[in-house]
């Protein structure tokens, strides 16, 4: 078998297996795929579509200059290619300004000694938007493009912070129960066990409409430092990180906190009285 055919077969089988093993979704559900225009989320959308799931695309236009324009073009092309609906959330129209401005305002106001990282702020705001908008669209699930490398980095970052228990809230599916007000849309990560370089190869092989350049704001992220470190490890060492993750998850899952509170400020689901996004905005 040609190496490209083998990669395609293996990747698709791995994703199918993850969906089945963790019961990520079924064909009756409406799945909103959060597409950034990057290789991972574009691949997720194509695979879920190929496997016959009921998907719609959701894109947040972060208004980060040229970069966001390219991402917007890519997701529009994807929507046409698959002939599936694309919902666009324009951050400037909805929240008053682009991500760069929102983020700088938060960083300037913050009284914390260490500067809040660009990606951390952007990540919290994107998650908040995604949950709120997916609920409006009556989605059963939100699918994201998080891959094996992302998850290994997150796991290590939590260890370096001295808080491995934070990893309990990750996994191929985030289900928080009980959610009395039905405000939380479960998030699924079909690429949880697929390595980043394989996704890159797959997306190139399939000629998918993808923006390969990195976000220009992702400069000072702690994750980038961890990624550099992870890249120096051997393949076996990387796999061993995930072996630790798998066994830790099994143990922590039994005691993990699945309670949901509702933010006093915006009403969205939260772990505490005020959600992470409102905490940042008022900081």
Contacts to ligand AMP by CB under 6 A: 34-36, 40-41, 58-60, 62, 123, 126, 144-146
One residue of 263, 269, 280, 281 binding Zn ion per CB under 5 A: 263
DSSP letter (8 states) at residue 169? G
| Residue number, 24 or 60, with CB nearest to ligand AMP | 60
By CB under 5 A, the count of residues binding Zn ion is: 5
CB 218 within 8 A of CB 175: no
DSSP bridge partners of 90: 61
User: With binding defined as CB under 5 A, does residue 280 bind Zn ion?
Assistant: no
User: With binding defined as CB under 5 A, does residue 275 bind Zn ion?
Assistant: yes
Residue 42 interface partner, choices ligand AMP, Zn ion, none, CB cut-off 5-8 Å depending on type = none
User: With binding defined as CB under 5 A, does residue 265 bind Zn ion?
Assistant: yes
User: With binding defined as CB under 5 A, does residue 278 bind Zn ion?
Assistant: yes
One residue of 81, 166, 233, 266 binding Zn ion per CB under 5 A: 266
d(CA 21, CA 283): 41
CB 61 within 8 A of CB 34: no
| Residue number, 50 or 273, with CB nearest to ligand AMP | 50
Residues 6-35, interacting with Zn ion (CB under 5 A): none
Least Å distance, CB 146 to ligand AMP, is 6
Q: Is 250 helix (H, G, I), strand (E, B) or coil?
A: helix
The label of the residue with tokens 């228990």 reads: 165
Q: Could you give the strand order of the β-sheet that contains 141-143, starting from the edge strand earlier in sequence?
A: 86-90, 54-61, 30-34, 141-143, 187-188, 173-174
| Residue number, 95 or 262, with CB nearest to ligand AMP | 95
Residue 232 is encoded by which pair of tokens? 């120096």
CB 15 within 8 A of CB 146: no
User: With binding defined as CB under 5 A, does residue 95 bind Zn ion?
Assistant: no
Least Å distance, CB 236 to ligand AMP, is 26
The label of the residue with tokens 């409102």 reads: 278
């Amino acid at each position: 078998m040609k190496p490209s055919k083998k990669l395609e077969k293996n990747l698709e089988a791995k994703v199918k297996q993850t969906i089945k093993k963790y019961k990520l979704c079924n064909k009756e559900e409406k799945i909103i795929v959060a597409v950034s225009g990057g290789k991972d989320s574009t691949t997720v959308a194509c695979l879920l579509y190929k496997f016959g799931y009921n998907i719609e695309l959701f894109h947040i236009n972060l208004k980060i200059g040229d970069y966001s324009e390219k991402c917007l073009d890519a997701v529009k092309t994807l929507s046409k290619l698959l002939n599936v609906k694309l919902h666009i959330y324009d951050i400037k129209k909805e929240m008053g300004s682009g991500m760069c401005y929102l983020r700088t305002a938060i960083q300037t106001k913050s009284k914390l000694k260490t500067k809040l990282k660009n990606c951390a702020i952007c990540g919290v705001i994107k998650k908040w938007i995604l949950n709120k908008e997916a609920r409006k669209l009556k989605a059963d699930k939100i699918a994201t493009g998080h891959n094996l490398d992302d998850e290994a980095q997150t796991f290590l970052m939590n260890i370096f912070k001295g808080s491995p228990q934070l990893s309990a809230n990750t996994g191929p599916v985030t289900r928080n129960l009980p959610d009395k007000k039905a405000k939380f849309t479960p998030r699924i990560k079909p690429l949880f066990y697929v390595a980043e370089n394989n996704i890159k190869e797959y997306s190139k092989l399939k000629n998918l409409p993808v923006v390969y350049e990195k976000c220009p704001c992702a400069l000072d992220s702690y994750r980038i430092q961890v990624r550099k470190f992870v890249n120096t490890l051997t393949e076996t060492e990387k796999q061993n990180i995930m072996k630790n993750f798998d066994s830790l998850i099994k143990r922590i899952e039994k005691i993990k906190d699945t309670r949901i509170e509702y933010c006093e400020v915006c009403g969205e689901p939260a772990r505490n009285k005020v959600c992470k996004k409102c905490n940042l905005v008022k900081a």
